Structure formats: C-alpha cells, structure tokens
Chain A
Amino acid sequence: MNDDSELVIQARSDRAAFVQLYRRHYDAIFRYCVHRLFDKVAAEDVTSEVFLKIIEKFHSFRGTDEQFHYWLYRIATNAVNNYLRKTARRNRLLKVVHEVSNSRAADCGELSEKLELLREAVFSLRPRYQTIITLRFFENLKMIEIAEVLGSSPGTVRSQLTRALAKLRAKMNSGGTT
C-alpha cells in the first residue's frame, strides 16, 4: 500500500490531492465491489456511491493513511450490503428473482459455470460472511486487516471465516463441484 498520509491530509482541502487520492484507490474499491456483487454494472453504481459518501464524511475522518484504507473498505462494505438488501427486497416484491438474476448474467456476459456456482454459494451466506470471504480471498487482506475493516477482533474474524468456509463448502458440494 502506498504511503499517502500527507495526501489524505491535503485532500481535505486541495482538489488536486483529492483526485490523486481517488485515483489511487478507485481500482481497489471497484474490484472489491465486483468481487462482492459479481456484476460490473452494479459495482460501478456502488463505487460511485462510495466515493460520494467519502466527500460527505471526509471531514469526520481522523486517522492515518492505513486507517483511511480500512475506512474506505468499511464504507464500501456498507454500500454493497445496502445494495444487496435493496436488491433482494425489490426482487421479493417483484417476484422475479430468477428472471432478474438471469438477465444480469446475460448483461455481464456469460459467467463461467465455476464462477456462477461460486456466486450462488457466496450469496447464500449472510452479508458478514460474504464480506469476510471476499476480503480474505479476493482482496487478500490479513485477519488483522479484515478485523480493522469490520470493527471486530481478529479472533472473531477467524472463527467467522471458518464457519463461512464450512458453509461455502457444503453449498458448493451440493452444487456438484469437486
């Protein structure tokens, strides 16, 4: 992770510094959203929401550059979970779960079978487990870093990761993978 302590301070009042900070973190946040949502279009929407929220809340951030990184992930996690809840609720009301998820897959190009199985398995987990799995295996964060993002202890994250993996394995095995 690049050291951008000075940049975080400058970005509060300097537009050029803010743009630099934004460009440094855009890719990571976008990719995290894609890995959580399995959908690039949705990931773009949520990424936009994340950075707009940062403008609103930037004045209240009082931390180091390392904490800024975790803070970004925390805002992104909340935004993704919010999006998933709204989508699930909307789908229940419209009773078109299958049609919507099929059309999304078509919009994004055909997901590979393995990716589709992973998507179904991950979405069957509760949001917190989804977050931990994604941060650990797709963002390659360490336990202590995930704990910082979630405001938890590394021990709690570790035990939740174990449970999440057990549930994932059971789900994926029942889906017929090896």
Chain B
Amino acid sequence: MTDREKEFESYVRDIRFDDTPDYDHRDKLEQNLLAALSRHSQRKAQALKTWRIIMKSRITKLATAAVIIIAVAISITIINNTTSTVWAIEQSIEAVSRYNAVIVEGLDSERTWRENGSLERRPFKAWAVANEDQTMVEKYRHEVNGVPILITNGKITWRYDLKTNTVHVENRPYIASECWCGSQFLEQIKSFLGESIPWEVSYGKDPATGKKRAFLKIAWLDERYNGPRSMWIEFDVESKLLVGLRQWENANWEDPAALIAETITYHENLPDELFEFKIPEGATVIEQEQD
C-alpha cells in the first residue's frame, strides 16, 4: 500500500458511516423479489407449455420453426425494442466512462457552398480530453487539412485563421459539450428513446475489420437540444463503444451531413503538448478582451 493509500485509509477509519441495513426493507424487498420470480417463472412456463403443444404436431412444429427462424433473424437485424436498446446504451455509457480522451477523424463542413451547389467538406482530426465529471470537453484540438484551427488547454483558447495568418487568443476555456461523446450525450440519446420521436436500430459489420456494429438512427426537433437535428450513431457490438457518428442539421437525415465522424478512438489521456498552440511564423496575434 502506498503512503497516500495509508493516509486515506487512516482518514476513513475514523468516519462513522451509518450503513446499517434496515431489515424491514430487506424483508419487504424479499417479498417483491419472490413475486417477481413467480411472474418470471409463469412467463417461462407458459412459453414452455406453448412450445410443448407445438412440438407434438409435426406440421405445426415445422411451421413454428420457420416462424422462429425468421423472427430471430429479424430481431438480430432490426430491433425496435426500447428496453433492450436502453440497456445497450447504458452499457455503452459504462464503456465510454472508462476513457477520458478521444481522437476523432472525419469530415466537417465549412458551410461554404461551391458553385455547383455542393457543400464544401473538410477533412478534420480532433483530440479531446473530458473534464472531471466527463460532462464536457476541457481540452480540445481541431485540425483541418493538418492545420490546427482551434486549440484550448482549458484556460486559454487559440483560434487560427490560415487565410489571414491570424491567431485570436482568449484567456478563457472553450467548452463545447456537444463534442464529448460521453455519458451526458448518450444519456440524452437514451432519454429520447422513451419519447415519441423517430428512431431505429439496425445491425451490420464494419467493412474494414468485419467487426459487428449496431447503428442507431434518431432525430429530434427540440431546440433545447439543438434541434432540429438527426443522427446516425455507430456502436461496436463487442466493446459497446461509440465508434462513428453522422449529424444532420435537419430532422430527416437529409444530406448533406454537417458532420461525419468516421473513426473515434478512445484513450486514457492525451499529452498536454497537443493542447498548446505554437504561433506560426509571421502570424498576427490578437488578444481578445474578455466580456
């Protein structure tokens, strides 16, 4: 045990924690559990009884087998069961909470329209480190075509305009809660599932690795959550991690997508040097006044 552990252990030893169980609660819960067990057993017994009746007849057995195979196949490919999807997202929340940093690569839009009417997309790479309770981004670096255009170390924010070779410096953090694909974001997605908004889940494989993926499409109008907005979110089935994301600034997945995160990788932490801006040679530096 380290000195720090001994110190803390000594501290908590003196603390009086009232953790005595209330045995009334234990006994009452026991009754509830037994009732739940009965209901659970009845459902299983009914299913078994039905199964036995079916299995007695060869004709119904074959027909049932066909129905079951189709039903299982459908349930594997498309599940719109809210309970199981909520459970899956809870597992994802737990999986994501193990990490404190992400690296995201993909395409974002400058919202500059080319002459032919298509949206200008830019390849980007972003590094993000979460704050203590993993609700928002604390440190962030955003590069477009390999050039850092936004960096914050949690205390100072630099924004770089390549065209004018100008750096704007603010002595405050840039916090973008949307950027963090952690528990708060997933918790919000989970809460949407219980409401009457369009969503669906499907399954497939990552073409590059063959790994199983689950895809959630969801849309909402609520302005409190930056609606109207629609998303397509990709989860890795094995790790439960969110590994891809597309976002549209409309509620019907109508192209072009404003953001395409093609790969999201997870890390315990990222080096601090990533979140310090090196002023380019000859750049104009403008210190922003704080509001």
Contact = CB atoms under 8 A, between A and B. Distances in A.
B143 interface: no
Contacts of B71: none
Contacts of B93: 81, 85
A22 interface: yes
B22 A112 contact: no
Interface of A is mostly: helix
A44 B37 contact: no
A46 to B, nearest CB: 11
A31 B4 CA distance: 24
A82 B86 CA distance: 12
Contacts of B33: 18, 22, 51-52, 55
A67 interface: no
B27 to A, nearest CB: 10
B15 interface: yes
Contacts of B48: none
Contacts of A165: 4-5, 8
Contact of B29 (A51, A88, A109, A167): A51
Interface residues of A, number: 51
A126 B4 contact: no
Given A78-B90, A115-B16, A162-B4, A44 B34 contact: no
Nearest to B16: A112
A128 interface: yes
A19 B32 CA distance: 11
A167 B100 CA distance: 15
Contacts of A95: none
B226 interface: no
A6 B114 CA distance: 70
B30 interface: yes
Contacts of B187: 85, 89
A70 interface: no
Contact of A35 (B19, B36, B97): B19
Interface string A17-28: 011001100110
Interface in A6-52: 15, 18-19, 22-23, 26-27, 30-31, 34-35, 40, 43-44, 47-48, 51-52
B8 to A, nearest CB: 6
A169 B6 CA distance: 12
Interface in B89-134: 90, 93-94, 97-98, 100, 132-134
Interface of A: 15, 18-19, 22-23, 26-27, 30-31, 34-35, 40, 43-44, 47-48, 51-52, 55-56, 78, 81-82, 85, 88-89, 108-109, 112, 114-115, 118, 124-128, 136-138, 150, 152, 156, 161-162, 165-169, 177
14 contacts: A18-B37, A23-B26, A26-B21, A31-B19, A47-B29, A51-B29, A52-B32, A85-B187, A115-B15, A125-B133, A126-B132, A126-B134, A127-B97, A136-B5
